[in-house]
Every structure is written in C-alpha cells, then in structure tokens.
Structure 1
Amino acid sequence: MSVRPIVIFPDTALKVPAEPVEQFDGALRALADDLHDTIRAAPGVGITAPHIGVPLRLVVLDLPELGGRRDYANPEILGFSQETMEHTEGSVSMPGATETVTRPRAVDIRFRDLDGAIHEERLEGFAAICMQHEIDQLDGMFWLQRLSKLKRDRLIRRWEKSRK
C-alpha cells in the first residue's frame, strides 16, 4: 500500500474513458488500497484509478455515510431520482478549485466488489453526488464539464493563476 502521484488537470489522461475491470485478484486489491491511501493523503473523499493514471473502472469512496471505505469496480448508474441537489464539487486532480454543481439527489447503481460479486444499491445525498462525480471521471468527463462555459473558464483562469 502506498500513496501514488495524482494526475493533475489538464492532463489528457483525465479525458480518456476507463476500461472495465476484468481481473479480480490481489493486484486489484493492491490498487484499491493504493487509491485509499492516496485519497486519505490528498485529502479527499473519492478517487478513481484514472486519477492516478491507471485507466480502469475502479472507484474508492471513504464516507461516514457509507460506513467508511467502499470499493466499486465497474460501477454503473441504473437510474436517477427526479429530485436534484446542489453541492460544491472539486477534484484531487485540481486541488483548491471548487464550484457548485447540480446533480440528482439519489442514484441506483450496479457494481462489482473486489472479489467480482455483483451488487446493486441506492445512494442518496452526498454519497450519490460523489458516485456520480467519480463515474463521470471513469467516463472521461472531468467535473468541469458539468459547469457552464462561463463558470468553467473563470474557474480554470483562477486555478491556473493560483498555480503560478
């Protein structure tokens, strides 16, 4: 287990859709452990394998609402609630940059655990927001794409200025 370097925006690796996890073995468990160590060090609450340059559909969330660490291989959204909520989002790949995003308040998902067993569950509130954010990343959609062009351009300018 180790903390891995995080891919920083605007690296093109953040735009590439991740490949499905096909091997449920010790290497996958080690990758999930590294993701967990990395997100705790960042700090943050969610991370995907693409955030550390590994193009696999693996998400690790560490939220009190979920009882702590949860690992999701090949997560997919089966359905959304009609009700939405606003939340301030950011990314470990763009530290310090945040903006309000509106997303469905609840999602029904299907995923595999690290042993390959299939599960379905409903996530609500902050956990639902986090999972949608991370699935977007797995699909090669960086969270900024959820913003209007005006908000996105302003945020990128502020972030780039802060990095100098």
Structure 2
Amino acid sequence: MRRGTIPGSSGRVRPMRLLGDPGLVAPCEEVTAFDADLAALVEDMFATMYAAGGVGLAANQIGVPLRVFVYDCPDDEDRRHLGHLVNPRLVAAEGITVRGPEGCLSLPGIEAGTPRFDEAVVEGFTVDGAAVRVRGTGFFARCLQHECDHLDGGLYVDHLTGLRRRRALRAARRARWADTVA
C-alpha cells in the first residue's frame, strides 16, 4: 500500500463467505509471496470490509485461504486502529476476560455476548514483508482475537456455550441469508 492512499480505494468488493462455508472452518495457509497480488488482496479486503460495514476482515471470509487480515477498529477510548497483518500470530491474550457484544460479517445481523481477553498482542508482517507487532486493548483486542480465530478456522460462536450458543446458531438458521450458505 502506498502512503497517502485511502485503504481500499483501489480495491474491489468481493463476495462474503457465510456461516456454513467450508472455507471458514479450515485453517489458512502462510503467505509466501509478498508481491503485487498480496497488495491487491489487501486492497480488496479493505474495500470489502468497508462495503460491509465491518471493523475487521480475514482473507478466508472472501474465499482466500491465506493468513491475512485487515482492520479499522476503535478501542474503548475511541482511538482508531487502522492496518493489516500478514501471517499474524496471536502471541498474547491476557488481562481480564470480558463478555461483550460480538458479531461477524460472515454471520450478518447476529450478535452475542462473547468472552474475550481485554488485552491482545499480535505479531506478523506488512504487505512489504516488514515485521510488525500490534497491541490492543478493549474492543480492539477483541477484534484482533476475532480475526486471528478466523485464520485458524474458528468463528466467534465457537466461544459461546449453552443458551448463548443455541440462540446464535438458531438465529443463523433463520436468517434471510441462511439459504445462500454453501
């Protein structure tokens, strides 16, 4: 990504994969080529995330099984965090566990109180191959954990138990988009 450009402004919006798509539950592969195709993927991911009104998006949510995610997410102090991570690894998730509202672009319109740690640290690379370490607290920590889960083949509903899980999955079965699921 060139400095000074708006992320996603040169990208194209791609179709979103929804709950039930096998690509959402398969672990993603490491990126090995830091090239123009990777930069274009990141641009498309920003464009898709913004079009869907999200704060984060993993590559497998648009059908690309690579370890990449983008984010434009506030923390609890309303500070904006904007960026992307290639081959991210969650290296720390700690602090208190907070049950807070969580949704997902792959389960549109469904939200549930989901437990997450209040602090998270993720290490990875930029599209140019530069090492980067991202630290988040509050809502941004939730976002970082959520996107790392996606790349490992997980969804936020996997963190739910009992009645919360049953309600979220029932809502997904009844959703307008449920019959479009693979």
* TM tier relative to shorter chain: over 0.9
Match of 1:8 in 2: 18
The TM-score, its normalising length taken from structure 2, stands at 0.84
Contiguous gaps of at least 5 residues in structure 2: 1-10
Which secondary structure state, in structure 1, belongs to the residue aligned with residue 31 of structure 2?
coil
CA distance in 2, matches of 1:68, 1:26: 24
- CA RMSD, Structure 1 to Structure 2 (Å): 1.5
2:108 equivalent to 1:92: no
CA distance in 1, matches of 2:30, 2:86: 8
CA distance in 2, matches of 1:139, 1:91: 15
Match of 1:151 in 2: 164
Deviation at 1:159, TM superposition (A): 2.5
2:58 equivalent to 1:48: yes
Deviation at 1:67, TM superposition (A): 4.0
CA distance in 2, matches of 1:57, 1:149: 30
CA distance in 1, matches of 2:120, 2:141: 6
Match of 2:129 in 1: 116
The TM-score, its normalising length taken from structure 1, stands at 0.93
**How many residues of Structure 1 are paired with residues of Structure 2 in the alignment?**
164
Contiguous gaps of at least 5 residues in structure 1: none
Deviation at 1:84, TM superposition (A): 2.0
Deviation at 1:53, TM superposition (A): 0.4
Native 8 Å contact 2:74 2:140 kept in 1: no
Native 8 Å contact 2:81 2:140 kept in 1: no
Question: For residues 71-110 of structure 1, what are the structure 2 equivalents within 5 Å?
Answer: 71-110=84-123
Counting aligned pairs with the same residue, the percent is 37
CA distance in 1, matches of 2:174, 2:38: 37
Deviation at 1:82, TM superposition (A): 2.9
Match of 2:147 in 1: 134
